[in-house]
Chain A
Amino acid sequence: MNAEEYRRPAPRLPAPQAKEWLAFSKRGVGGWAFLLHRLTGLVLVFYLFLHLAVLSALARGPQAYQAMLAFMDSPLIVALEVGLIATIAFHALNGIRLVLMGFGVGVRAHKALFWVAFVLAAGLTALAALAMF
């Protein structure tokens, strides 16, 4: 068979997919940090919209605002708010870790730094929960 006869079969191309970000089976600490940072970021973007929408009660006057506040006092909402604090705390602390790494600080210790961020976030959340309930 000469070179012209030879036809390489078309390789099976992997489709680029966002689900690769969620490949749970093979994650190391850094991979979990990446995934959690991305997910918490998206949750916070969603919350930003929600927060601004809820605050539209301010524009509808004192009665509307007081009614909204009364609704916000339910235990379910407060529990969700504790979750929100956890999300913010992790994203903020891991964000600091990412900035440090970008400047070449603590790159070799990135796993330890992840756990520092994680534990600090958990501690802050616990403190906030105590203050809120």
Chain B
Amino acid sequence: MAEVTFKIYRYKPGAIDPPRYDTYRVSIEPHTTVLDVLEHLRLDDPTLTYRHSCHHGSCGTCGMLVNGKEVLACVTRVADLKTDTVVIEPLRHQPLISDLVVDMTPFFEKYEPVGMPYIRESEYLPHSQPPEEVGAYTRFENCLECGLCLSACPVVGSDPDYLGPAALAAAARVVQEPRGQDVPTVLAMVDTEEGCWRCHAAMECSEVCPNDVDPGGLIMFLRRELLTGTSRSGGKR
């Protein structure tokens, strides 16, 4: 068991304003996650706000900056950070509501119009034969809608109108596997100044993505698609 110092960004409009960092000392076990620490601290200070739900990296709500890096707090072990001081801050480039909670409205304003279906054909168990009435095995899409990619992207930081990695990746998935969505419409949405041509391939989005969406790679896929029109039929990846 080790003692670790946590410096947590605090901000409440009108109450903790300007923002400040509160410092806490917490004993951690080898398996203690950053989210565990926040839950523990909230027992003493119910005004500490953060978003979370599933505790196992599938809901995508507990995105935050831990020592300057975008992570999901629930699957980030404090021991793995290998520092005595852990700085916890809200995601960048998104409006801040309170403490570690950012407003996801701009995220969904860009992401939802793309209309990516939430399920995709499964690439797992390629040799198994699905039962007749099932047709093909499906699974959920990778994107957790956590917003880490928007926080990591340097271009989103200077241009809030840029569609951004999450929406562009969703668009690329529609092109790869339309499942009834209109591919030309989606391609027209991203073939714009603020679409896939605004990206400068810093690939920070793919670096922080917790679920291997690889938004940067998918933006490059969109470019190739628009430049050469190779997989116009919408083939699967």
- Tell me the A residues contacting B by CB distance below 8 Å: 9-14, 16-18, 20-21, 23, 25-31, 33-35, 37-38, 98, 101-104, 107-108, 110
- Tell me the B residues contacting A by CB distance below 8 Å: 11, 13-14, 68-70, 92-98, 102-103, 152, 154, 157-160, 200-204, 206-207, 216-217, 220-221, 223-224, 227-228
Decide: A102 near B204, CB < 8 A? Known: A107-B220, A108-B217: no
Residues of B within 8 A of A28 (CB): 203-204, 207
Q: Give the distance in Å from the alpha carbon of A102 to the alpha carbon of B187 in the complex.
A: 16
Contact, CB under 8 Å: B221 / A12: no
Contact, CB under 8 Å: A21 / B224: no
Chain B residue nearest to A25 in the complex (CB)? B68
Chain A to chain B: the 6 pairs with minimum beta-carbon distance, closest first:
A20-B157, A30-B203, A104-B224, A11-B95, A34-B202, A9-B13
Contact, CB under 8 Å: B13 / A30: no
Contact, CB under 8 Å: A16 / B158: yes
Looking at the assembled complex, report how far the CB atom of B66 sits from the nearest CB atom of chain A, in whole angstroms.
11
Chain B residues touching A, majority SS: mixed
Looking at the assembled complex, report how far the CB atom of B140 sits from the nearest CB atom of chain A, in whole angstroms.
23
Contact, CB under 8 Å: B207 / A14: no
Looking at the assembled complex, report how far the CB atom of B82 sits from the nearest CB atom of chain A, in whole angstroms.
16
Residues of B within 8 A of A98 (CB): 201
Residues of A within 8 A of B221 (CB): 104, 107
Contact, CB under 8 Å: A23 / B203: no
Looking at the assembled complex, report how far the CB atom of B13 sits from the nearest CB atom of chain A, in whole angstroms.
4
Residues of A within 8 A of B227 (CB): 102-103
Contact, CB under 8 Å: A31 / B97: no
Decide: A10 near B13, CB < 8 A? Known: A34-B200, A107-B217: yes
Residues of A within 8 A of B14 (CB): 9
Decide: A30 near B11, CB < 8 A? Known: A14-B94, A16-B158: no
Looking at the assembled complex, report how far the CB atom of B63 sits from the nearest CB atom of chain A, in whole angstroms.
14
Chain B residue nearest to A32 in the complex (CB)? B202
Contact, CB under 8 Å: A101 / B160: no
11 new A-B contacts, CB < 8 A, other than A10-B13, A26-B152, A101-B220, are A11-B102, A12-B13, A12-B97, A13-B96, A14-B157, A26-B69, A27-B204, A30-B202, A31-B204, A33-B201, A103-B224
